[in-house]
Chain A
Amino acid sequence: DAGITQSPRYKITETGRQVTLMCHQTWSHSYMFWYRQDLGHGLRLIYYSAAADITDKGEVSDGYVVSRSKTENFPLTLESATRSQTSVYFCASKIVGGSNYNEQFFGPGTRLTVL
C-alpha cells in the first residue's frame, strides 16, 4: 500500500542494546523526520532529512543516529538504548511545494520499551 510505514510497531529491548526503527515511504517525499512523543512533551524532533544523504539534528538527538541512503527509507538507530528512550516514535515525511506545503504525513508509530 502507498503511504508511510514503520516497523516494528512494538519493541521491547534491554538497556545497552542497539535498536533500529525502520521507516519507509512510497511517495518519494524529499523531507523525512523522526519524532518522539512523551507525556507532557508533545512531539519532539529527533532528526530530519532534506534528501538522501542529507540529515541534521533536531532538539533531542543525543543517543540516536540516522541514515538516508535512499529517498524512501529513513532508519533511526539507538546506539545503546537507555530507559529514558522508552517512548513512542513517529516517522513523518513531507513534499516541497503544493497547497499544503507545510503538511507532514505521519507513520503509525513504534512503541519502544527499554527495560
Chain B
Amino acid sequence: DQQVKQNSPSLSVQEGRISILNCDYTNSMFDYFLWYKKYPAEGPTFLISISSIKDKNEDGRFTVFLNKSAKHLSLHIVPSQPGDSAVYFCAAPISGTYKYIFGTGTRLKVLA
C-alpha cells in the first residue's frame, strides 16, 4: 500500500504567524518528497522538495522537515502571508517508476 496522507483538509493562520502543514506516508521506500501549491483555477506549481537523505530543506520562508522514522513530513511557512492562501499537496514518486502519489491536499487560509 503506497499512500501519502494529508489528514488536515484545512488550516487557518494569522498573517505573520507560522503555518505548519503535515503529510504522512506509508511506504518507507519513498526516497523523495515534493510540495506543490495550487491556487483556484490554476494548475499546481512546485514549491519545495526534500530527498530522503536529508531531514530538512529550506527555501526562503518555506522549510520542509522529514522524519523518516515516523514516516512524516511537514511544511513550515514563516512568516505566513495572505498570498500563501492556497491548497498545498504533498507528493512522492514511486521508486523505480515515474508514477507519483499525491496527498488529498490541505487548504491554507492566511488571515490578514
Chain A interfacial positions (CB closer than 8 Å to B): 4, 31, 33, 35, 40-45, 48, 50, 58, 90, 92, 94, 100, 102-109
Contact = CB atoms under 8 A, between A and B. Distances in A.
26 contacts: A4-B43, A33-B100, A40-B104, A41-B104, A42-B6, A42-B89, A42-B102, A42-B103, A42-B104, A43-B44, A43-B89, A43-B91, A48-B98, A48-B99, A58-B99, A90-B43, A100-B46, A102-B34, A102-B49, A102-B93, A103-B34, A103-B46, A106-B44, A108-B43, A109-B41, A109-B43
Contacts, number: 50
Nearest to B2: A59
Interface of B: 6, 32, 34, 36, 41-46, 49, 89, 91, 93, 98-100, 102-105
A102 B99 CA distance: 10
Contacts of B102: 35, 42-44
Interface SS of chain A: helix, strand, loop or mixed?
A: strand
B103 A104 contact: no
Contacts of B103: 42
